[in-house]
């Protein structure tokens, strides 16, 4: 009867680095596509009201966002709230895919490809800034075409543009082969505030994870009467709730900081063809004609 040989004990090795996989690099793009499609169907009517209020200004045809909403539906019908939606139907999905996908990859770049390496808040902001500049290349054509269609009140033969491709044709004829990228520096200026969007998202996430959810909210955190001491002390906030709340707070931080630049960008990109005002002078123009209130129209 043979005696089995004993195997030597394996040598201890250092914990392997958590290297990024192809799936890690593509996950952000997939999430962005879903985000963009959802944002279109839910958010486009709000975007139309915002754009019209921003561009019309204080001396325009609307008294405020509610008046804009009511007037648009009454005079043009509910479908007018989705004017220019055909371009974002694809464009927003691509934009969010590029934004979240590039954000993930810029983070991995700062981590040296090692997911176990924790980034600082500032580094998260830098990744957001780089992602903002990257997505500006896709966002500029989508936004300039979308906004020019949203600002078209006439219908039928009175319309200036017959559709997205007609807008692109007009821009190319006026500004050259890269006409649909007219306003790229303006878009990059506005997207620079992604530094604060993603930097603050990380700050808010860390803060929310440090909180304990009280046991008085059992249905929210999954606590039961048998949890004993854990229920008495509370539990960490669920990660999905952390992501949801941090995302909302970061988005509000972003819009509070970048909204004046967004107003100026949108006015620059939709102004008339006669005597256009350069982007760098549009800030002074808005202030001179409307004062500080001009920078928060539609907020």
Digit-coded pLDDT (tens) for 256-288: 999 999 999 999 998 877 778 899 899 999 999
Residue at 249 is within a domain: yes
Tell me the whole-structure pTM to 2 decimals: 0.77
Give the pLDDT confidence score for residue 268 in this predicted structure.
93
State the burial class of residue 117 (Cβ atoms within 10 Å of its Cβ: 0-12, 13-18, 19+).
middle
Residue at 162 is within a domain: yes
Residue at 136 is within a domain: yes
Residue at 282 is within a domain: yes
Residue at 7 is within a domain: no
Give the pLDDT confidence score for residue 203 in this predicted structure.
94
Helix axes of 239-270 and 22-56: crossing angle, nearest 10 degrees: 50
Give the pLDDT confidence score for residue 216 in this predicted structure.
59
Residue at 2 is within a domain: no
Give the pLDDT confidence score for residue 275 in this predicted structure.
72
Give the pLDDT confidence score for residue 130 in this predicted structure.
96
Q: Give how many domains the chain has, as a whole number.
A: 1
Give the pLDDT confidence score for residue 1 in this predicted structure.
47
Residue at 14 is within a domain: no
Residue at 6 is within a domain: no
Q: Are 296 and 259 in contact (CB under 8 A)?
A: yes
Give the pLDDT confidence score for residue 263 in this predicted structure.
94
Q: Which residue range is the domain that position 202 belongs to?
A: 22-293
Q: pLDDT tens for residues 156-211? A: 656 788 888 999 999 999 889 898 999 999 999 999 999 999 999 999 999 999 88
Q: Which CATH number fits the domain that encloses residue 98?
A: 1.50.40.10
Buried/exposed 82-112: b ≥16 CB within 10 Å, e otherwise: bbbbebbeebbbbbbbbbbbbbbbbbbebbe
Give the pLDDT confidence score for residue 224 in this predicted structure.
47
What stretches in the chain show pLDDT beneath 70?
A: 1-37, 58-59, 155-158, 215-234
């Amino acid at each position: 009867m043979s005696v089995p040989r004993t195997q030597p004990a394996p040598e201890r090795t250092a914990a392997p680095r958590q290297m990024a996989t192809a799936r890690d690099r593509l996950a952000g793009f997939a999430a962005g596509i879903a985000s963009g499609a959802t944002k279109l169907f839910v958010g486009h009517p709000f975007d139309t009201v915002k754009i019209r209020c921003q561009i019309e200004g204080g001396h325009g045809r609307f008294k405020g966002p509610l008046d804009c909403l009511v007037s648009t539906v009454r005079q043009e019908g509910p479908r007018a709230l989705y004017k220019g939606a055909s371009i974002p139907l694809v464009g927003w999905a691509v934009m969010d895919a590029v934004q979240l996908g590039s954000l993930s990859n810029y983070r991995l770049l700062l981590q040296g490809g090692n997911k176990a390496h924790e980034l600082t808040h500032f580094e998260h902001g830098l990744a957001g800034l780089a992602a903002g500049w990257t997505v500006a290349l896709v966002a500029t054509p989508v936004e300039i075409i979308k906004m020019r269609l949203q600002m078209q009140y006439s219908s039928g033969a009175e319309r200036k543009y017959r559709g997205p491709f007609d807008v692109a044709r007009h821009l190319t004829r006026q500004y050259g082969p890269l006409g649909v990228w007219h306003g790229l520096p303006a878009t990059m200026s506005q997207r620079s505030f992604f530094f604060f969007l993603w930097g603050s998202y990380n700050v808010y996430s860390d803060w929310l994870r440090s909180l304990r959810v009280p046991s008085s909210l059992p249905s929210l955190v999954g606590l039961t009467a048998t949890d004993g001491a854990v229920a008495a002390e509370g539990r960490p906030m669920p990660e999905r709730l952390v992501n949801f709340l941090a995302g909302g707070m970061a988005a509000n931080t972003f819009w509070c900081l970048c909204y004046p630049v967004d107003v100026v960008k949108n006015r620059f990109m939709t102004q008339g063809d006669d005597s256009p005002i350069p982007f760098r002078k549009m800030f002074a123009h808005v202030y001179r004609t409307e004062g500080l209130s001009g920078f928060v129209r539609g907020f």
